[in-house]
Amino acid sequence: MAERAERVEQEEIFSQVLRAGRRTYFFDVRATKADDYYLTVTESKKFTHDDGSFRYQKHKIYLYKEDFTDFKDMLGKATDYILNEKGSEVISERHQKDFKKEDDAETTTDVKSTDSFTDVSFDDI
Residue range 47-103, pLDDT digits in tens: 888 998 989 999 999 999 999 999 999 999 999 999 999 999 887 765 656 555 555
Residue range 8-41, pLDDT digits in tens: 444 679 999 999 988 999 999 999 989 999 999 9
3-class SS of residue 79: helix
3-class SS of residue 53: coil
Cα–chain center distance at 3 = 36
Question: Which class is 2-106 in CATH?
Answer: alpha beta
DSSP category for residue 60? E
Burial category of 27 from C-beta neighbours within 10 Å (exposed 0-12, middle 13-18, buried 19 and up)? middle
CA distance 90 to 64: 31
Cα–chain center distance at 12 = 23
Domain boundaries, the chain: 2-106
DSSP category for residue 64? E
DSSP category for residue 33? T
